[in-house]
Every structure is written in C-alpha cells, then in structure tokens.
Amino acid sequence: MSKNLIIVESPAKARTIQKFAPKNFLVKASMGHIRDLPKTRLGVDVENEFAPHYVVIKGKAPIIKELKLAVKAAKEVFLAPDPDREGEAIAWHLAALVDQGRAIHRIYLHEITKPALSAALASPSEIDINKVNAQQARRILDRLVGYKLSPLLWAKVTGGLSAGRVQSVAVRLICEREREILAFVPEEYWTLAARLFKDSPEVAFDAMLVQKNQEKIKITNEEQARTAERDLASASYAVREVTRKEQKKNPAPPFITSTLQQEASRRLGFRVSKTMQIAQQLYEGLDVGSEGTVGLISYMRTDSTRISEAARAEALEFIEGRFGSEYQGPPRKYKSRPGAQEAHEAIRPTSVLRDPEEIKNLLTRDQYRLYRLIWERFLASQMASCILNIETADISAGEYLLRASGTSVKFPGFTRVYEEAKDEEQTNGDKVLPPLEAGDSLSLLNLDLKQKFTQPPPRYNEATLVKTLEEKGIGRPSTYAPIVETILKREYVKILEKRFFPTELGFVVTDLLIKHFQDIVNPDFTAEMEEKLDQIEEGHVNWVSVLRDFYGPFSRVLADAETQVEKVVLEPEMTDEVCPKCGKPMVIKKGRFGKFLACSGYPECRSTKPFLKEVGLPCPNEGCTGQVIERRGKKAKFYGCSRYPECTFSSWDKPTDKKCARCGKVMVLRATRGGKFYLACIDRECGKGATVKPEEAGQEVQAPQEG
C-alpha cells in the first residue's frame, strides 16, 4: 500500500513528526537547502532579467535520489519546511527536483505537535510563489553585492574580506559608536542627596536636590557643590507636598525572534547564535517522557506578537488554576512592527501545561533555561497588569527643594511569573517611603555629595546591536545571528567583555564603503530594501524590477570605484616573536589559509612561522612545559603542543582545565554525532564513567568551531 510522504528540512524535525504522524505517512528530511547559486561564480544572468542559475549543493545528490524514490512510491506528497521565506524556497526547489507526477502540496507547521500536523494535513495549500520570489530577490541581492564588491576589497585592502547589505551596516554602526566614544568629552556634574528621617533614623530615606529658588538646579563644579552642601547642612527640612497615585504596569508581549535574542543575552548570557540553535531544538522536538518526542515551542523565526485563541484560552485556564481568576489578563493586542507577518504566531510554548520544572530533568541545562524564559514570558503576557502605588514627596529646605520617591506593589499581577530584564545602562531606584504628610518636620542624618562625569554611549553588546538593527528596520529575524557571526569571522569587529570593538580592518573597510558605496552602508537604504522585499512577498512589487533598480546604479558606482579607490596599506600587527633568521620582530599577516607570522624585514628577509594561538592551558602530557595551542590542518583546526616536535601531543577535542575524577587526566570537549558537545576524559580507554555534561562540571563551554 502506497504511503503519503511528508518532506521537511531537518532530520530532528522528521523524527519528531514521524512519531505522531498517521500510520500511512512517511516523513523524510532534505537536510536543508538542496539547490543554491554556485559557489565558484556569480550564478546570476544580469543581462537576462537576473535569471539565477541554481545547482545541486555538493553532497546532496544521494539525498535527492532517495527523495525521488520516496516520491515515486508515494500517493501524495506534502512539503513541510519551515513557514518562512527560506522554508518556502526549500519547498519550491524540492518540488522542482523530485516531481514524479504525484500530487504535491505545501503545508505549514507553526509548531511540531500532533494537533498542528492534523490541522495542516486537513487544509493543504500551494507553494507561495511571492514568498519564493522574495527569498530569491534577497539571495540575488546579497550575491550581487558579495561577488561584485568583495573582489574590490581584496584588490584594494586585503584578501578574505566580504561586504554585504546588512553586515556592512552593522559594522558601520559599531564603528560610529566607537568614534562617538573616542570623541566624547566628559562633563563634570555633582549630585547631592540628603538622608532624612521623620521619627527614627532606622527608617531614613534619601531625597535628591532638584531645585533652587523654584528653578531646576544643575551643579557643574565643586564650588557650587560645596555652597549647596553648606546651605543644606544648616537648613530646616519639612514636607511641602506628598502626591500618591496608582500606576498600571503591563506585561511585555510574547517573544518574537529579536526580543528572544535580546532577553536571552541579558538574562542567560547566550550568544545570539546559541539562542537560535537551542530554540531550533525546542521547536523541532525533544523527548519529554510519557508524551514522547514533541515540539516544545512554536516556530522561532517570527516578527509577529499574535497568539492563537486556543493558546490564550489554555493559558487563562492555567492561570486561574495556579494563581486565581484575579490574575487572568484581559485580551491584549500587542503592537507588531510594520510589515510583520501576522500569519505567524509569537514564540510561545506549544502547551503551557508543560511546566518547565516538570520536564527540567529531561532537558539539558541550556534547553531548560531557554524554555523556561519563553514559557514565563508567554504566561505573563496573558496575566493581569501589576498595580503599583507611586508616592512622591517634595521637601523644602530653605531656598532649596528636594524630592524623594517610592514605589510599593498593590497587586503583583504578572510579576508573580516574570519581569523583563533591563539593559545594563538602565537602573531601577524605586524604594518605599515611610508614612509622610504635608507639614511633617524632618531631621537630617547626613548629606551625600558626589562628583560625577557624563559617560559616553555604551558600546554595543549583542542584545543592544540586535535591538538597534530591529529598530532601524535592518535585516530580519533569521539574519541577526549570521550577521554577528560573519562580522566576527571577517575580523571587522571583536568581542571583549561581551562588547563589540571595531578593528582597524573594520574602520578601513567601513570608511572605504562610506566614501564610494554610500547606499551599501546606509541604514535607511538598507531598511528600504527590506521593505521592498516585504512588498515582493505580499505580491505588490515585481522582484526583477527591484533587482534592476538596485543593480543599475550599483554597477556604475562599482565601475567608478575600481579606478578611484586607492590601495589601502594596513599596519601589520606586531608580536613579541623574534625572527629566527635575522632577529627582527615578527608581525601577524593574513594569507589564503589564515594568519601566519612573517618577518618585519620583508622583502629582505622572507622568514615565516605558523601563527600559534594559545588556549591558556598547559600541555596535558606529563613532564611537558609547553602550552596547548590551536593548529590548523587541511580541513579543520586541532589542538597541539607549542613544543612540537619535541612533544607530539595532539587532539581534535579541545582540552579544558577540568580533571577526570577516575584517572586524573585532562577532560576534553568532545562532539557527538548529533553535533552536541560534552566533557569526557582525554583517555578513551578510561570509559564512559568519566563523561559528564559541561554544566555538571561547573564550566560554561563554547562548542569548537569548524576550521
């Protein structure tokens, strides 16, 4: 009997769906995209309506063959890649390559659950060609910029560089922020607070100086500060006026992609890429015990705050049962960004009944932490508002006015579950005041005079960079993580203490692009292109005309730049290494296969050495005094000893500072076939008993990157 076939892009997603799909359905995975533009050439016919030339991705031929056989044996075919532009494009390419004359349908799974699958199979649709064209337009735009502009950067700056519509704007933002910081001139100012009490010093409170002679006071030097301090030290204090009011505080909306990335960065310290990796696992499905494998969250690439009525009803019932009916929130219409795709829901748990604490032991530490964050945010968004009592006291002291404020919670509402984290530069100084009434006399306990200086704007961290990109309409939910990884990989920026710092290369490339390719690094232009891509998806704009309007001016500017841009000479990075041939300092240079050390006396001395990056750990071999360093093989990096060839230690697995509890040898970070990482004894003969999870070893570990 012929089975119906469902094709998804992910093996994990396929395994989850297969477990609850009807018995007459087979689920297969395409392993992501199966066709793309060629890597070695432009692949776009700019003279023929920008026709793309797609080729089968290397290594995908066996998968396509397998899918064709499955399609041939199937009764009907249902294409179920992710419900976004990339997923639509995957479905379109699949339909073109595996068509065997069978009925092919498109279904959308906004969550990987049995009810969602049943609903999708009951109402299949066709591939949305407008969404496909929007993806093609983005892909071709990026290809035109990358393949036309990057060779110019190679010729005029150095090899291995790239430019892009979105990544170049992100680097510009980081460079401009750094220049703001460098140009910033601090301004002196002073604050003066009085520590006051009414009946007992044990219930003293702080009041800030705000006015003098009924005008706002600004103290800019020590002389003014000391004068005010002397006056207040001898003044009599009395409450002039007390105002009290209630303030309603509403919960934040459910997560969209960008807000999830920001909040996970602030609360959990996750990199943007890590957030998306773990969210993908939660979406595609995990084993949660008696239920089996099920998707725990809805689709995680979305810019809509909408939720379904069924999800809201389930949440309200849960809230009533756990907290009481007074905690149930009213229906709220959260505002999505202009152009948000309302067909998608916000990121939410597929069932609020799956309490994070009840499935904690079935998830990894990071899966649990991110799931709990999503669960709490969604639940809070459906709860009643928090009601605050706000109290402000104006206090007279001769010709001066001081102000004290306090906040108390009248009704906690959603804060029983969750409150949005603050950025580092935001502070919350709310305190509770003692009972005060107009006319009350107050006593001075002490004065707190502080000299301060205005601060420059903070450097971007991943959360604030994503927030800025979103606010400016640059990029889309699925692009933020790869943007960050690309600009780090190209060494346009580096991260120090979780903040972005532009490199010299970042400044040089940004300045070159601003001078000769203003549109490419113009935030407004980039945002306008994103809007046009949205209009293509909505069927309002022809995708070829968008490409034509962009490429005409771009190609003319590119032609001019090839003759006008002068060669940029980057200052080499000096090192403490000494040339073994001539004794001059060695510098770090970048070649085709990465960084290497070269003599600063080049071309007279052509001596070179490998660039060895220390990991910060001693060599694991007993008696060796060397350090563990990263080395580079033909296909990937590995770890070896700095004293090679005297010491021959080498390992594909990254050594750590942990010791095996069984044999005392070094623990290494090792990968499973599924791409997950864990700590294990470097001695494979030691046995599985020594294997522990990174979190159980008390160490946050970064997965090693492919070379």
**Model confidence over 246-295: pLDDT tens digits?**
999 999 999 999 999 999 999 999 999 999 999 999 999 999 888 889 99
Sign of the alpha-carbon torsion through 500, 506, 507, 513: negative
Same domain, 142 and 123: no
Residues 167 and 487: beta-carbon distance below 8 Å: yes
* Helices vs. strands in the chain: H and E counts, helices first: 16, 30
pLDDT at 704 over 60: no
Residue 517 lies in a domain: yes
Contacts for 488 with CB less than 8 Å, ≥ 6 apart: 494, 495
Gap between the Cα atoms of 484 and 273, Å rounded: 8
Residue 582 lies in a domain: no
594: pLDDT confidence band, cut at 50, 70 and 90? Answer: low
Residues 659 and 642: beta-carbon distance below 8 Å: no
> Running DSSP on this structure, what letter comes out for residue 357?
G
The token duo for 199 is 């009946």
Half-sphere exposure of 565 (CA within 13 A, CB side): 26
Q: Rounded to 5 degrees, what are φ and ψ at 398?
A: 65, -125
Q: Rounded to 5 degrees, what are φ and ψ at 610?
A: -65, 145
Same domain, 266 and 334: yes
pLDDT at 500 over 70: yes
Same domain, 121 and 174: no
pLDDT at 634 over 60: no
| Closest listed residue to residue 332, CA positions, set 271, 385, 263 | 385
SS3 label, residue 105? strand
**Model confidence over 644-673: pLDDT tens digits?**
778 888 888 888 878 887 777 888 887 765
Residue 301 is part of a domain; what is its CATH number?
1.10.290.10
Average pLDDT on 305-326 reads 94
Q: What is the pLDDT of residue 701?
A: 43
Residue 389: enclosing H or E segment and its boundaries? strand 386-397
Same domain, 109 and 141: no
Range of the structural domain that residue 277 is part of: 261-381
Annotated active-site residue 299? The verdict is yes
Same domain, 29 and 109: yes
Residue 664 lies in a domain: no
Q: What is the pLDDT of residue 423?
A: 58
Residues 381 and 332: beta-carbon distance below 8 Å: yes
Residues 610 and 597: beta-carbon distance below 8 Å: yes
Compute the 3-state secondary structure of the chain and give helix, strand, coil in percent, each to the nearest 5.
35, 25, 40
Residue 518 is part of a domain; what is its CATH number?
1.10.460.10
591: pLDDT confidence band, cut at 50, 70 and 90? Answer: low
Same domain, 155 and 77: no
Same domain, 70 and 160: no
**Model confidence over 419-475: pLDDT tens digits?**
877 654 444 445 789 999 999 999 999 999 999 999 999 999 999 999 999 999 888
Residues 470 and 275: beta-carbon distance below 8 Å: no
Half-sphere exposure of 73 (CA within 13 A, CB side): 14
| The domain boundary residue, chosen from 564, 580, 612 | 564
Top-confidence range, 154-168, 183-197, 333-347, 556-570:
183-197
For residue 245, the cross-strand partners are 390
Q: What is the pLDDT of residue 628?
A: 86
Domain count, the chain: 4
**Model confidence over 148-190: pLDDT tens digits?**
998 999 888 887 788 888 999 999 999 999 999 999 999 999 9
Residues 660 and 666: beta-carbon distance below 8 Å: yes
The token duo for 83 is 């419900």
Q: Rounded to 5 degrees, what are φ and ψ at 152?
A: -65, -40
Q: What is the pLDDT of residue 572?
A: 77
Residue 655 lies in a domain: no
pTM given for the model: 0.80
Q: What is the pLDDT of residue 428?
A: 43
| The domain boundary residue, chosen from 425, 453, 481 | 453
**Model confidence over 606-617: pLDDT tens digits?**
898 877 776 778
Beta-strand pair 441-453/400-411: unpaired
Gap between the Cα atoms of 549 and 58, Å rounded: 33
Residue 475 lies in a domain: no
Residue 575: enclosing H or E segment and its boundaries? strand 573-578
Residue 369 lies in a domain: yes
pLDDT > 90 in the chain, percent: 64
Q: What is the pLDDT of residue 206?
A: 95
Mean pLDDT (the chain) is 88
**Model confidence over 90-138: pLDDT tens digits?**
999 999 988 877 789 999 999 999 999 999 999 999 999 999 999 999 9
Residues 381 and 120: beta-carbon distance below 8 Å: no
Residue 7: enclosing H or E segment and its boundaries? strand 4-8
Same domain, 304 and 349: yes
pLDDT at 369 over 60: yes
Gap between the Cα atoms of 537 and 481, Å rounded: 22
Residue 390 is part of a domain; what is its CATH number?
2.70.20.10
Same domain, 309 and 368: yes
Contacts for 7 with CB less than 8 Å, ≥ 6 apart: 27, 28, 29, 30, 67, 77, 78, 79, 80, 81, 94, 98
Same domain, 217 and 142: no
Residue 525 lies in a domain: yes
Q: Rounded to 5 degrees, what are φ and ψ at 5?
A: -120, 130
SS3 label, residue 571? coil
Average pLDDT on 57-80 reads 93
Q: What is the pLDDT of residue 339?
A: 59
Gap between the Cα atoms of 431 and 406, Å rounded: 4
Gap between the Cα atoms of 116 and 13, Å rounded: 13
Burial class (CB in 10 A: 0-12, 13-18, 19+), 602: middle
Same domain, 246 and 391: yes
Residue 249: enclosing H or E segment and its boundaries? strand 237-249
Burial class (CB in 10 A: 0-12, 13-18, 19+), 250: middle
Contacts for 401 with CB less than 8 Å, ≥ 6 apart: 209, 210, 211, 212, 214, 240, 394, 395
**Model confidence over 510-544: pLDDT tens digits?**
999 999 998 889 999 999 999 999 999 999 999 99
Residue 177 lies in a domain: yes
Half-sphere exposure of 556 (CA within 13 A, CB side): 6
| The domain boundary residue, chosen from 517, 538, 564 | 564
Residue 63 is part of a domain; what is its CATH number?
3.40.50.140
For residue 328, the cross-strand partners are 383
Gap between the Cα atoms of 460 and 468, Å rounded: 9
SS3 label, residue 639? strand
Same domain, 245 and 265: no
Average pLDDT on 322-351 reads 84
50: pLDDT confidence band, cut at 50, 70 and 90? Answer: very high
For residue 30, the cross-strand partners are none
299, 371, 460, 639: the catalytic one is 299
pLDDT at 335 over 50: yes
Q: Rounded to 5 degrees, what are φ and ψ at 331?
A: -60, 130
Number of Cβ within a 10 Å radius of residue 626: 18
How does 158-192 read in b/e, with b if 16+ C-beta sit within 10 Å? bebbbbbbbbbbbbbbbbebbeeeeeeeeeebbeb
Q: What is the pLDDT of residue 636?
A: 65
pLDDT > 70 in the chain, percent: 92
> Running DSSP on this structure, what letter comes out for residue 347?
B
